[in-house]
Structure formats: C-alpha cells, structure tokens
Amino acid sequence: MQTKKEALEKLGRSKFRSSFHLRKRELAYVREKGLEEIKKHAADIIRTRLAPAYIENDGKQTPMKNHPVFIAQHACACCCRGCLHKWYNVPKNTELTQKQQEKIVALIMAWIEQELENEEQKP
C-alpha cells in the first residue's frame, strides 16, 4: 500500500497525469470555498460518480475542466474505474468501500493542496 506522497510522486512521473494543473479560476474557487468545502464536494463526487459497482458511462463520467475536483481526479488517476484498476489495482464492477472512497478523497485533497502550495511559491 503506497502513501499519498508516494502516489503523488508516481503520478508526477507520468507525462499525462502531470500535465494537469489548477488554473487561476479553480485556485480562486478553492480559496473562496475553503478546503473543507472542497473535500465535501470531492466526497460527494466520488460517492456518486465513481463508487457504484456499475457506471453506465465509465471512462467518460469525469469532465476535464470546470471544477477543481474533476481536474484532480484526472491528475490522480481517480477519474474512472479503468484508471483506478490500472493505477491502484482496484477491481472493476465492485462497489467502492467507504475506506476506499476516503483514500481517494484524501489523495485528491493532497493533490489540490500541493497545487495551492505550488501557486503560492511562484514569484
């Protein structure tokens, strides 16, 4: 079982996964809403769009823009069940447990926090 830090480092080595970043608009949204509210959004999105055993539009259920959590899902390979299986060996066609959902949300939030930190370090 890898840590959040290890997962983020591995994702950072992927050309595709590391191409995702929050734009000024999404960063402003995170600051406006606060991390706790964004975490609630993430939990709801994961519960409704990723946790069910069968997802009708799996592989296409996560937009690539318009919400920080959607962008984070792609950056963290938590956007569909195929990516969860490929990156984290999470079986397809089984409902995600509460613990699995919490781990996904924690990874998404760690990525978002990292994006905030990176933005703050820019001159």
- Identify the domain containing residue 16 by its residue range: 4-120
pLDDT value at residue 1: 64
Name every residue whose Cβ is closer than 8 Å to that of residue 24 and which is 6 or more positions away in sequence.
Answer: none
Number of domains the chain contains? 1
Contacts 24+ apart (CB under 8 A), 14-21: 14/77, 17/74, 17/75, 17/76, 17/77, 18/75, 20/71, 20/72, 20/74, 20/75, 21/71, 21/75, 21/115
pLDDT value at residue 28: 96
How does pLDDT run along the chain (123 residues), one tens digit per residue? 688 999 999 999 999 999 999 999 999 999 999 999 999 999 999 999 999 999 888 888 899 988 999 999 999 999 999 999 999 999 999 999 999 999 999 999 999 999 999 888 876
CA distances from 1 to 16, 80, 88, 90, 92 (A): 23, 20, 9, 12, 18
